[in-house]
A and B are shown apart, each in its own frame.
Chain A
């Protein structure tokens, strides 16, 4: 006799399931089926070609590095935005979301213009012998850009919710500022920091628009994984594209799993 009190269960869930089925699950199933049609052996040969391996290495390596940079910079920025007051704080806080709001293609050409040898920043770096645009370093810069907001936005609410009491308690027990930060605050921030890191990593691995302009896309050198898929599609090599696609999908599932585990972990201290 368990009945539902509020109306609309069938209607809302029915619509949601239909929509998800058509828009998300059916196309994903098409990819999975295409990949399984190739078979594991075929899949293996397709994704272990030197070009794909090089792209995988670049995509993943640059993404990890960019997430590390973002974790450090994000912690600094979140700390400054939450803890200190200074003129323009609200403006800079809003600015953090720019990479979410700015279309990736726009970010891509803007970064390229900045870091090209004649660009504002590129011109400064050129005399030092540092080339950014059209090298793996450019890929890294673009990934730092797109992944930046994640760490800040996951850390901010945690930082805001931290009681000043615990810092005062630590101080009254004789801890220095640095000890208070490393021994009391940092352990509390770590789950959110890691969650932000994982989110930034997931975004960077799959990023396309902002990277391809600055990367220069030199095969085996500055070609990212998503671009490999695009090139294969342009050559009508659908099976190869599906093979690389399924690898990327598996990678994002793994990251998604890691993120949800991290979030569960970070809720450990939520009940106070």
Chain B
């Protein structure tokens, strides 16, 4: 089952929920729609389910125009954010519902329905719960009932809206790995909506990062984290330092420092903004000629990682750096120390001369050249 989403737009009274969104989903893929609230991810999911309709654009499933097919006939599996279990029906009746409402010709026999529901309940590890009502279940159990109910109609496409949003942290991690296994075992194509980057990066084959009704980036979790395509992705996923810079004669002027790099060639002079991840900042406790001079303000140890707060007078801002907790101890980093900071690589977005917005087309990943002796030790 290949799903082609082509230039979808959806306006609500006063804002654009979806703005020219295109995406192709291959059979068997596990896709995460990731974004902050109001980014349009839930609207996109609801359109896929047939519970909302775009103002413009097309939706095509294996050559079939899905927008002409009502929610009732699409046969997709949908798990609602708050599960939307039928509160007056038992677990069994909830799961059987999709089979029982079929037209007589397509409806399985009673015995067959019971058999299939039993199998599904076993599969979601709820055997023995069949006669309970939703109010008698825990959050994780309800979520699995919702999943079994959606799977009962044997969908090719499974849609999940914030599937783990309402669960405790521990249940959440266990359930999402289990869901990944289920997806593989049953050969489903799965799309899920989340605002939790950790969830998206851990589970999905591909992550679709959305913001203000637009797709910012589509890629594997590794690509999304290592090569963010836009400033938004930098800021939304993981941590990053944002540094205002200038491009001047093929060099990068950042505060009182000037960096040389091959990648800068061909870029016109002008203002730009650079992003660098905390773990891509190298520190040296011996003063070096190249790199920002900084004072270490705080060291926060959280588990195995040390977060460092660096005050950089040359930039007029603070930077955040990260290194292994053990290394931080070994090098006895303490607040008040003076260090030199060297970015290993930065991503630079030149600012558009007219609008002053970052120009995504001229994005460059910059590896500054440092003298051999000046290379700061890191990690």
Chains A and B touch (C-beta atoms under 8 A apart): yes
Which residues of A are found within 8 Å of B55, using beta-carbon distances? 1-2
Does B52 sit at the interface, judged by CB under 8 A? yes
- Name the distance in Å between A8's Cβ and chain B's nearest Cβ: 13
Q: Closest residue to A4 on the B side, CB-wise?
A: B53
Question: Within the assembled complex, what's the spacing in Å between the Cα atoms of A5 and B53?
Answer: 9
The interface size bin for chain B is under 10
Across the interface, do B67 and A1 meet the contact criterion of CB distance under 8 Å? yes
Which residues in A have their C-beta under 8 angstroms from that of B51? 5
| Nearest Cβ on chain B to A54's Cβ, whole angstroms | 53
Contact of A5 among B56, B67, B71 (CB under 8 A): B71
Q: Is A164 an interface residue (CB 8 A)?
A: no
- The reply to whether the CB of A267 lies closer than 8 angstroms to some CB of chain B is no
- Interface-centre pick from A2, A3, A5 (highest chain B CB count, 10 A): A5
A5 touches B50 (CB 8 A): yes
Residues in chain A near residue B134, CB distance under 8 A: none
Kindly report which residue of chain B lies nearest to residue A5, judged by CB atoms. Answer: B51
Give chain B interface residues in 240-286, CB to chain A under 8 Å.
none
Across the interface, name the chain A residue whose C-beta is closest to B71.
A5
- In the bound complex, CA of A181 to CA of B360 (Å): 62
List of B residues within 8 angstroms of A5 by Cβ? 50-52, 71
What is the interface residue range for chain A against chain B?
A: under 10
CB proximity of A101 to chain B, nearest CB, Å: 29
Contacts of A1 in B (CB 8 A): 53-56, 67
Q: In B28-56, which residues have CB < 8 Å from any A CB? A: 50-56
Name the A residues within 8 Å of B52 (CB-CB).
5
How far apart are the CA atoms of A3 and B71 in the complex, in Å?
11
Chain A residues with CB under 8 Å of B50's CB are 5
Which positions 181-207 of chain B face chain A at CB distance < 8 Å?
Answer: none
Q: Which residue of A has the minimal Cβ distance to B72?
A: A7
Which residue from chain A places its CB closest to the CB of B57 in the assembled complex? Answer: A1
Within the assembled complex, what's the spacing in Å between the Cα atoms of A5 and B50?
7
Q: For residue B140, give the distance in angstroms from its CB to the closest CB of chain A.
A: 29
Q: How far is the CA of A1 from the CA of B8 in the complex (A)?
A: 12
Q: Quick one: CB contact mask for B50-74 with A, threshold 8 Å, 1 for yes?
A: 1111111000000000010001000
Cα separation A5 to B51 with both chains bound (whole Å): 5
For A3, give the chain B residue with the smallest CB separation: B53
Q: How far is the CB of A206 from chain B (nearest CB, A)?
A: 39
Within 8 A of B (CB), among A33-55: none
Binary CB contact string for chain B from 157 to 185 against chain A (1 if under 8 A, 0 otherwise): 00000000000000000000000000000
Contacts of A3 in B (CB 8 A): 53
Bound complex: CA of A225 vs CA of B50, how far in Å? 57
Shortest CB–CB separation between residue B13 and chain A, in angstroms?
12
A-side contacts of B54, CB under 8 Å: 1
1/0 per residue A159-188: CB within 8 Å of B? Answer: 000000000000000000000000000000
How far apart are the CA atoms of A1 and B54 in the complex, in Å?
Answer: 7
Query: A residues 1-30 with Cβ under 8 Å of B?
Result: 1-3, 5
Residues of A within 8 A of B53 (CB): 1-3
Closest to B46 in A: A5
Q: For the complex, what is the distance from the CA of A2 to the CA of B51, rounded to whole Å?
A: 11
Task: Give A1 to B11 CA distance when docked, in angstroms.
Answer: 11
State how many angstroms separate the Cβ of B67 from the closest Cβ of chain A: 7
**Which residue in chain B gives the minimum CB-CB distance to A1?**
B53
B residues touching A (Cβ–Cβ < 8 Å)?
50-56, 67, 71
The 12 sampled A-B contact pairs (Cβ below 8 Å) are: A1-B53, A1-B54, A1-B55, A1-B56, A1-B67, A2-B53, A2-B55, A3-B53, A5-B50, A5-B51, A5-B52, A5-B71
A residues apposed to B, CB below 8 Å: 1-3, 5
Please name 4 further chain A to chain B contacts, defined as beta carbons within 8 Å, in addition to the given A1-B56, A1-B67, A5-B71, sorted by A numbering: A1-B53, A1-B54, A5-B50, A5-B52
Closest 5 CB pairs of A and B: A3-B53, A5-B51, A1-B53, A5-B71, A1-B55
